[in-house]
Structure 1
Amino acid sequence: MKKLHVRMMAASVIAACSSDAWAARVDYTLDAGVEQNSNVTLSPNDPIDQRYSRAGLGFIITDNLSALQVNLNGRVEYRGYRDDVFDDTVDGVLSGRVNWVAIPDRLSFSAEDSLTVQPVNALAPNAPGNRQQVNVFSLGPTLLFDWTRTLRGRAELRYIDSNAEISDEFNSNQLTLAMGAIRDLSPTSTLSLLAQAQAVDFDNDVVARDYHRYDLYARYERRLAHFELEFDAGYSRIDYRRGKGRTDPLVRGNLKWNPTAQSAFTASVSSEFSDTAGDALSSISMEPPSTVPDNVLTGRAVVNASPYVVRGADLGYTYSATRIRVGANVYAQKRNYVDTDAFDQKLRGARADFEWVLRPSLTFGVYATREKLHYTSLSREDKTARTGATLRYQMSRHWSTAFSWEHYKRDSTDAGQTVGQNIAYLSISYSNR
């Protein structure tokens, strides 16, 4: 296991288990059980059916003091394979933010971290031998200042360190400076002008090109009791130290509408430069998850050094009542990589979730996802489908048992890339709350 993995997960697990370390709220769940996998190697021709042990620790750490805000969540998970099909694995995920207010309404320091599991080869199946830990860490100060009663300023400096366990062309150091002027148009709306400069220095200059990125855009925000809108419009430019630069429009929009206390509609659109490290940090939520993480999922990021232009749209709906929770969203995305067109892609997908509390001690949930991914330069198309269900029985306040099942299928136009598997997991778990 790599040093990066050890440092990040050890620190998180110690914090999760040390509820007396500070006045933070710590929620954690320990689980252990047996998993049955019909195709543990995700082989297209010779599937290996295997039963193996699995155990994990998930946690959420939150604190919201006037001088310190903490929001951390993650999970570390062990799988013990049989017959030397794979070495036993320990994987982990971590997402969170810590903010320290040094001078109220003036100066604060924040640290953010995203530790995920990503494929080594994004074109191959996500079998255990095709996984790696990817970590992106950000640290720096934020300065706030007032020019007039309705005009404020903001300046941020961030150091960003990105590391991949295997794909070392991704490894880099970044320095970002952002400044903005914010004017209050009304008690519920603001208009801002923001500028950002970023210098990206890759560790391996042989396969990666260092570059500078500049963003200049305006932002409009409106926040009402049941409605939120945020819209950005401007331009971005990338200048390479070796090679020509490129300029593209920057457009981002997010909308949230709560017609009732139980339901919410969301919509988002984007057209902008991005990269794998930036996507990792932008995925860190400002709010803790509603439940302790109970699985370590493998992402689908292409872990390389190339920035890309991403254009996408997402529509979502959620409904939460006393005994029922429903969620659904549809999305589409197009990515064009700047340095290489091998991974240029178009993605369309949908997901639906349903959870039903049958009685206070028994909960049933199902989910389904469908995606179509077209690699435009490779003339390849992958269609993936996941369907799963979970039945959880609460034996006491702290102890529960669960049975989960998932079916995964990928159909590909490339020979030897069509695979499928069924996974069943029977577990017992202990939660501190």
Structure 2
Amino acid sequence: MPMKYVRASVFTAAALAGASGQALAARVDYTVDLGVEDNDNVTLAPFDPIQQRYLRAGLGFSVEENVSALQLNLDGRVEYRDYQDNVFTDTVDGTMSGRVNWIAIPERLFFTAEDSLSVQPVDALAPDAPGNRQQVNVFSVGPTLLFSMGQALHGQAELRYIDSTAEETDEFNSQRLAGALRAIKDLSATSRLSGNLQVQRVDFDDDVFGRDYNRYDIYGRYERTLAHFQLGADLGYSRLDYRSGGENRSEPLIRLDAEWTPTTQSSVNVLIASQFSDTATDALRDVSGERPPNTVPDNILTGDAVVNASPYEVRSLDLGYTFTGTRLTFSATPYLQDRNYVDSDEFDQDSQGARMDLHWIVRQFLTVSAYGTYEKLDYTSLDRQDTTTRLGATLSYQWAPRWSAHLMAERYERDSTDLGQDVSQTLIYLSVSYSNRP
């Protein structure tokens, strides 16, 4: 990770954490790990793999604050790998996801800052090797004004400045100005209806590959919240207007999100969407999503985003199940997605897959964690299909109040209909870690 991204990430983290003096009371959790990793195909080559054993170190952190004037949630991780024999230069990868909400005037004015720093591929069609990774950062900041239009009718006006930057893919770099106006009516103690108008102006740094455009969204939203059930539904219309000429696009906007909690330990959720989106918008949407409190990331996975300047029309269905018990936590999230790019059909894709996560406390000082991902991806214009699986497990033993040892193993396989794109890799990481909290 180049120093400019290290500086940007540190600056953003400091800005989020220091937005108010009250943030000094924030809860901070961190874990430092150091160990040796064995990799049987360090370059992810389809033939003649190179095996290496190298030093790996990581720092994961989580910052949380929730007081009357400030809500802060920030987590991230930095990893260093010391490769041997100059196969790759030593790498530093980092991820961070954070959101801070400062209430300047109670029930009237607040300021929100959000940041997403992730690791994404330079070439989405190539394997996930260290030479095919880049840092992608999306930062958003701006005020929200609340006002009343009657006893049960409320208004909300938003303004956001958004900056998106990619380490290698210059066409992604852009500045955006987004505004929204909302009218919200309380129908009852458990339901409300809102009308929403959103406008976004997108200006790309590289006008050769990125076409500047304006986006307009107008939709109604219905929300209902019960003891064990939550529902949200959006219905409206979206339009993309290109300022440099070309064909404009208009599509219906449809979204549905629902969550059912039949017991205190389990929940089921469903997300349905048909809408315009883009890589920067998706990054900020992930920041705004709910996350478990005080979660310290313990690894960095390269994302699967196509980092370019084109918006796309996406139709998706996501299902999720989560069980949280005293000793066992389990989640499974299958999904279907159809994505069609506006500016070029090269990356048009149909995908289906699932992710599974499990955490089991075997006994007081011994835990087992496991995860698995599966994806079948059809590039419809390229007549290509990639099937990717990733399985990982970690055995952790806490031998002192803040010290623990970990043995992690991961298997990655990718099968492709394109010749020479089949790759596989097995990682084993033996480490010792220190956490600031037992």
TM over 0.5: yes
User: For the residues of structure 2 that align with 1:276 and 1:243, how far apart are their CA atoms?
Assistant: 21
Cα pair 2:224 2:230 within 8 Å, conserved: yes
What amino acid does structure 2 have at the position aligned with 1:53? L
* TM-score after normalising by structure 1: 0.97
Map of 1:244 onto structure 2 = 247
Deviations 1:252-293 (A, max 9, x none): 111111100000001110000000000000001454435200
Deviations 1:33-90 (A, max 9, x none): 0111110100001111101111111111111121111111101111110000000011
Moved more, 18-27 or 323-332: 18-27
Map of 2:256 onto structure 1 = 253
User: Is it true that 1:7 corresponds to 2:11 in the alignment?
Assistant: no
What amino acid does structure 2 have at the position aligned with 1:8? A
Map of 1:431 onto structure 2 = 435
Cα pair 2:236 2:254 within 8 Å, conserved: yes
Alpha-carbon offset, residue 365 of structure 1: 2.1
Cα pair 1:60 1:288 within 8 Å, conserved: no
User: Is it true that 1:413 corresponds to 2:417 in the alignment?
Assistant: yes
Map of 1:339 onto structure 2 = 343
Cα pair 1:75 1:294 within 8 Å, conserved: yes
Matches within 5 A, 1:201-212: 201-212=203-214
Map of 1:276 onto structure 2 = 279
Of 291, 308, 312, the residue aligned with 2:312 is: 308
Moved more, 388-397 or 148-157: 388-397
Deviations 1:151-171 (A, max 9, x none): 000000000001000100000
User: Is it true that 1:229 corresponds to 2:231 in the alignment?
Assistant: yes
User: For the residues of structure 2 that align with 1:92 and 1:353, how far apart are their CA atoms?
Assistant: 22
User: For the residues of structure 2 that align with 1:141 and 1:126, how far apart are their CA atoms?
Assistant: 38
3-state secondary structure, aligned to 2:283: helix
The sequence identity of aligned pairs, in percent, is: 61
3-state secondary structure, aligned to 2:5: helix
Of 341, 364, 367, the residue aligned with 1:363 is: 367
User: For the residues of structure 1 that align with 2:157 and 2:62, how far apart are their CA atoms?
Assistant: 30
Of 286, 309, 317, the residue aligned with 2:321 is: 317
User: For the residues of structure 2 that align with 1:14 and 1:146, how far apart are their CA atoms?
Assistant: 34
What amino acid does structure 1 have at the position aligned with 2:65? D
What amino acid does structure 2 have at the position aligned with 1:379? D
Cα pair 2:198 2:216 within 8 Å, conserved: yes
Map of 1:148 onto structure 2 = 150
Cα pair 1:16 1:59 within 8 Å, conserved: no
Matches within 5 A, 1:33-48: 33-48=35-50
Alpha-carbon offset, residue 352 of structure 1: 2.2
User: Is it true that 1:397 corresponds to 2:401 in the alignment?
Assistant: yes
What amino acid does structure 1 have at the position aligned with 2:9? M
> Using a 3 Å threshold, how does the CA distance of structure 1 residues 322 and 126 change in structure 2: closer, same or farther?
same
Alpha-carbon offset, residue 225 of structure 1: 1.6
Matches within 5 A, 1:33-112: 33-112=35-114
User: For the residues of structure 1 that align with 2:119 and 2:25, how far apart are their CA atoms?
Assistant: 30
3-state secondary structure, aligned to 1:280: helix
Matches within 5 A, 1:128-167: 128-167=130-169
Cα pair 1:16 1:27 within 8 Å, conserved: no
User: For the residues of structure 1 that align with 2:15 and 2:416, how far apart are their CA atoms?
Assistant: 43
Alpha-carbon offset, residue 366 of structure 1: 2.2
> Using a 3 Å threshold, how does the CA distance of structure 1 residues 91 and 379 change in structure 2: closer, same or farther?
same
User: For the residues of structure 1 that align with 2:257 and 2:23, how far apart are their CA atoms?
Assistant: 37
Cα pair 1:71 1:287 within 8 Å, conserved: no
User: For the residues of structure 2 that align with 1:51 and 1:11, how far apart are their CA atoms?
Assistant: 34
Cα pair 2:202 2:212 within 8 Å, conserved: yes
Deviations 1:365-421 (A, max 9, x none): 222221100000000000111111110001122111110101110000001110000
User: For the residues of structure 1 that align with 2:337 and 2:422, how far apart are their CA atoms?
Assistant: 23
Alpha-carbon offset, residue 327 of structure 1: 1.3
Map of 1:330 onto structure 2 = 334
Of 25, 31, 50, the residue aligned with 1:23 is: 25
User: For the residues of structure 2 that align with 1:354 and 1:113, how far apart are their CA atoms?
Assistant: 28
Cα pair 1:9 1:76 within 8 Å, conserved: no
User: For the residues of structure 2 that align with 1:24 and 1:419, how far apart are their CA atoms?
Assistant: 44
3-state secondary structure, aligned to 1:422: strand
> Using a 3 Å threshold, how does the CA distance of structure 1 residues 160 and 3 change in structure 2: closer, same or farther?
farther
Cα pair 1:162 1:171 within 8 Å, conserved: yes
User: For the residues of structure 2 that align with 1:104 and 1:4, how far apart are their CA atoms?
Assistant: 37
User: For the residues of structure 2 that align with 1:285 and 1:360, how far apart are their CA atoms?
Assistant: 34
User: For the residues of structure 1 that align with 2:216 and 2:349, how far apart are their CA atoms?
Assistant: 25
3-state secondary structure, aligned to 1:283: helix
> Using a 3 Å threshold, how does the CA distance of structure 1 residues 20 and 402 change in structure 2: closer, same or farther?
farther
Gaps of 5+ in 2: none
Cα pair 1:55 1:79 within 8 Å, conserved: yes
* TM-score after normalising by structure 2: 0.96
Cα pair 2:353 2:376 within 8 Å, conserved: yes
What amino acid does structure 2 have at the position aligned with 1:328? A
Alpha-carbon offset, residue 8 of structure 1: 3.1
Map of 2:180 onto structure 1 = 178
Cα pair 1:365 1:391 within 8 Å, conserved: yes
User: For the residues of structure 2 that align with 1:137 and 1:11, how far apart are their CA atoms?
Assistant: 12
Cα pair 2:16 2:113 within 8 Å, conserved: no
Alpha-carbon offset, residue 16 of structure 1: 11
> Using a 3 Å threshold, how does the CA distance of structure 1 residues 254 and 13 change in structure 2: closer, same or farther?
closer
User: For the residues of structure 2 that align with 1:143 and 1:183, how far apart are their CA atoms?
Assistant: 16
Deviations 1:176-201 (A, max 9, x none): 01000000000010000000011100
Cα pair 2:16 2:98 within 8 Å, conserved: no
Alpha-carbon offset, residue 12 of structure 1: 6.5
